[in-house]
Amino acid sequence: MSAEIICVGTELLLGDILNTNAQFLAQQLASLGIPHYYQSTVGDNLERLQQVIEIASKRASILIFTGGLGPTPDDLTTEAIANFFNTPLVERPEIIADIAQKFASIGRKMTPNNRKQALLPEGAEVLPNPSGTAPGMIWQPRPGLTILTFPGVPSELKRMWQETAVPFLKSQGWGKEIIYSRMMRFRGIGESALAEKVAPLLDLTNPTVAPYASLGEVRLRVSTKASSQADAIASIEPVAQQIRDIAGLDYYGSDDDTLASVVGRLLREVGETVSVAESCTGGGLGAMLTTVAGSSDYFVGGVIAYDNRVKISLLGVNREDLEQFGAVSHPVAKQMAAGVQKQLGTNWGLSITGIAGPGGGTQTKPVGLVYIGIAAPDGTAQSVEYRLGAMRDRESVRSIAAANALDLLRRRLLTRKNKKL
Amino acid sequence: MSAEIICVGTELLLGDILNTNAQFLAQQLASLGIPHYYQSTVGDNLERLQQVIEIASKRASILIFTGGLGPTPDDLTTEAIANFFNTPLVERPEIIADIAQKFASIGRKMTPNNRKQALLPEGAEVLPNPSGTAPGMIWQPRPGLTILTFPGVPSELKRMWQETAVPFLKSQGWGKEIIYSRMMRFRGIGESALAEKVAPLLDLTNPTVAPYASLGEVRLRVSTKASSQADAIASIEPVAQQIRDIAGLDYYGSDDDTLASVVGRLLREVGETVSVAESCTGGGLGAMLTTVAGSSDYFVGGVIAYDNRVKISLLGVNREDLEQFGAVSHPVAKQMAAGVQKQLGTNWGLSITGIAGPGGGTQTKPVGLVYIGIAAPDGTAQSVEYRLGAMRDRESVRSIAAANALDLLRRRLLTRKNKKL
């Protein structure tokens, strides 16, 4: 009993898009404890699709397809599956009605080619797509073989997976022995440094601890197999506690926590507000803070001071300091933070000024040089210098800068909260 | 004659890492004009690896492996290949010497498990790895079948591909005929509507035209096989021109063009500047505009007016209008745009106010309702209502809203440019 992932789309074979669906589904199968030994990718071609189905249906008992469900003639997944199992396609009126209603809700009219998405093999169940027009299906074409299809659009697939496929698979008895993981997140420490600090834990066999690194962030995945979530947590928690003790303030959260959600929680706890003043990030820090629903409770707003005139007019940055020290400097970062704090009447002011590149760097102020200013409720302002490295691209520098600003605020809020308690 | 990509690694099946190697290799094969119909992913398991080799060696004439070349016992790719073709593994002294020298250069001693990486099937050529210890191989186990192996580390694979595999494949006669594509980008039209408008072109065989959809954007990929880039462009351009004529203003750019880069180009052409006033996007519009290096030439800055007090204090939005019509309304969007235009002294002002969700929606103002305001150089301000649909998640609503704002400005700038000419 195992599952196999089949990704359909010529765009994958041409390298036009990155196959993030395969990773998502692989993680999901692992968390449900469903064995998974093969993944295949094939283009929008009926014959080759059927060949892949033939091979996979011999190896696995659950086939999971992504892609090729859309309204255009090159979307062939459903047709290939139905053909392979010699089953006619039947138009489902409930799908037509759903698609028509979705088009109406955005003020558009359903075009005739959308009818194609309403065709499913006889006997297949609709796997509803709440965020798009192409539904998937759940179908048992023969005993011992289950087929699930999903569109290729990652956000649609994820929602369909979580809302319908997971309950279905659990109803089939999967997910009893679960692989349970906690992803612990760290900021302000490198992968090898963290790995060295927690070295003895990396040799554990149950739970296991594995390090991962991504843009400016390190993670430790603590995993165990267990028959219930409670058992899993009981196995994981002592190790997680050891890791938290070792990492101290560099640990910021787990699983779905983000720097923005953690900072938001802390601001709520201390009952304080924040505003932002951004130069090189152009709004990215505000955008990051407001990824959290309900962030209006503590995020008031900000000033995007891309041009120096805005730094002067809206943030009250001193013109002479701008000329003497340059826009990318400690004094300007501090004044930006204090300026937005005052202008918007918030407890905290957070600012970013830096050289995102690729141009604009000099010997003394290279690409990747970023100053983050923080104005505190006690009326003081400080600035921290970061050298994010000339090897990083513009978007990496900008996104690490915004995250570092949040991390700076997080550390200050933690200290403040502990003082208040 | 076709190639097949086989990615080896249990970490791929667990979803621990994203398979960027498959995309890189797919792009490379396309640019060399090497047909490529299947990709497989399999874990570090000798038997299953051999099964995949059996299937792939029947379908393709070039097998490209990534992963499973390292020094640890779970690295089995080379062994599986040699076993499948009944060929003994032979230790290569030149590889041992190379690995020992690499360890010496960083002041370390080669550990015994590294010897494993020096084993290659009899008759195989070494595919050198200048940036790591695990070399690959180029091997013809039987006439008409070529095997290339690469480590899974993306940077090592890329360098080995470019320095050795590409010259080898070209020496075999590949790369004479290239596949050349143009990705044409559209905004403000759905996939099915565009597909219907260009329906006859979707049946072309050379060049081919294929539609793709992603978040709020539709693309058409126009592809051709040709012996030179000039020939390819000559074949593609007439079709691209037809598409541009059909799509009109809904076509915004091709290939690496983004809405932000296109808007930036237009602002430069007309010599005008823009500022932004953002509510629900929280800075995302400014962040999008400033993804473009050099955007400081036309982007001055903005105000993140998340809280209504900021809309009043910094943007001069009328308090009574806020109370009467609500923050998400035509009058407020217009006043935000006009307010930031005036406050920052720019030619254009662009504003966004909306309900990003998941909470905050009402019967009359549902999640996904967004007003985009635009204040023009002639002193007028207008606002456009978008219903992005309650089925979309918070981040989708925010990112589509920001992109729609750029698209609105793009259309106005195009009209303005044509008037000026």
Q: Which of A58, A295, A304, A347 to mutate to test the interface with B (most CBs of B within 10 A)?
A: A304
Contact B290 A310 (CB under 8 A): no
Q: Are residues A206 and A335 in the same domain?
A: no
User: What would the pLDDT profile of B339-382 be if each residue is shown by its tens digit?
Assistant: 999 999 999 999 999 999 898 899 999 999 999 999 999 999 99
Q: What is the pLDDT of residue B101?
A: 87
Q: What is the pLDDT of residue A72?
A: 86
For the cut 90, the answer to whether the pLDDT of residue B179 exceeds it is no
| Among A116, A145, A171, residue at a domain's last position | A171
For the cut 70, the answer to whether the pLDDT of residue B393 exceeds it is yes
For the CA atoms of B190, B191, B194, B198, what is the dihedral angle to 10 degrees? 180
Percent of chain B with pLDDT over 70: 99
Q: Are residues A284 and A340 in the same domain?
A: yes
The nearest alpha carbon in chain B to A41 belongs to B39
Across the range B37-51, mean pLDDT stands at 96
* Confidence category of residue A175, pLDDT binned at 50, 70, 90: confident
Q: Which of B184, B192, B298 to mutate to test the interface with A (most CBs of A within 10 A)?
A: B192
Q: What is the pLDDT of residue B231?
A: 93
Q: The CATH number of the domain where B272 resides is what?
A: 3.90.950.20
For the cut 90, the answer to whether the pLDDT of residue A93 exceeds it is yes
For the cut 80, the answer to whether the pLDDT of residue A54 exceeds it is yes
Nearest to B287 among A111, A130, A281 (CB): A281
Q: Does B361 contact A at CB distance below 8 Å?
A: no
Q: Are residues A351 and A381 in the same domain?
A: yes
Q: Are residues A157 and A209 in the same domain?
A: no
CB contacts, 8 Å: B215 with chain A? 153, 155
Q: Are residues A242 and A300 in the same domain?
A: no
* Confidence category of residue B390, pLDDT binned at 50, 70, 90: low
For the cut 70, the answer to whether the pLDDT of residue A254 exceeds it is yes
Q: Are residues A273 and A222 in the same domain?
A: no
Q: What is the pLDDT of residue B421?
A: 65
User: What would the pLDDT profile of B7-20 be if each residue is shown by its tens digit?
Assistant: 999 889 988 889 99
Q: Is the model more confident about A109 or about A352?
A: A352
CB contacts, 8 Å: A307 with chain B? 296, 299-301, 344
Q: Are residues A390 and A414 in the same domain?
A: yes
User: What would the pLDDT profile of B89-113 be if each residue is shown by its tens digit?
Assistant: 999 999 999 988 888 876 777 878 8
Q: Does A238 contact B at CB distance below 8 Å?
A: no
Q: What is the pLDDT of residue A162?
A: 95
CB contacts, 8 Å: A290 with chain B? 280-284, 306, 398
Helix (H, G, I), strand (E, B) or coil at B340: helix
Q: Does A180 contact B at CB distance below 8 Å?
A: no
| Among A103, A137, A171, residue at a domain's last position | A171
Q: Is the model more confident about B205 or about A217?
A: B205
User: What would the pLDDT profile of B232-280 be if each residue is shown by its tens digit?
Assistant: 999 999 999 999 999 999 999 998 899 999 999 999 999 999 999 999 9
Percent of chain B with pLDDT over 90: 76
User: What would the pLDDT profile of B45-77 be if each residue is shown by its tens digit?
Assistant: 999 999 999 999 999 999 999 999 988 777 899
Q: What is the pLDDT of residue A31?
A: 83
For the cut 70, the answer to whether the pLDDT of residue B294 exceeds it is yes
Contact B287 A291 (CB under 8 A): no
Q: The CATH number of the domain where B61 resides is what?
A: 3.40.980.10
Q: What is the pLDDT of residue B381?
A: 98
Contact B12 A221 (CB under 8 A): no
Q: Does B38 contact A at CB distance below 8 Å?
A: yes
Q: Are residues A212 and A127 in the same domain?
A: no
Q: What is the pLDDT of residue B166?
A: 95
Across the range A49-57, mean pLDDT stands at 97
The nearest alpha carbon in chain B to A52 belongs to B38
Look up the domain containing B193 and give its range: 178-254
Contact A283 B304 (CB under 8 A): yes
Provide the mean pLDDT of chain A.
93
Contact B396 A40 (CB under 8 A): no
| Among B148, B171, B194, residue at a domain's last position | B171
User: What would the pLDDT profile of A288-325 be if each residue is shown by its tens digit?
Assistant: 999 999 999 999 999 999 999 999 999 999 999 999 99
Nearest to A302 among B13, B304, B388 (CB): B304
Provide the mean pLDDT of chain B.
93
The nearest alpha carbon in chain B to A108 belongs to B190
Contact A15 B38 (CB under 8 A): no
Q: Are residues A134 and A191 in the same domain?
A: no
CB contacts, 8 Å: A72 with chain B? 191-192, 195, 202, 210-211
Contact A30 B15 (CB under 8 A): yes
Contact A108 B190 (CB under 8 A): yes
Q: Are residues A401 and A331 in the same domain?
A: yes
Q: What is the pLDDT of residue A391?
A: 64
* Confidence category of residue A213, pLDDT binned at 50, 70, 90: low
Number of domains in chain A: 3
User: What would the pLDDT profile of A358-413 be if each residue is shown by its tens digit?
Assistant: 888 998 999 999 999 999 999 999 999 999 876 678 998 999 999 999 999 999 99
- Min Cα separation B210/chain A (Å): 8
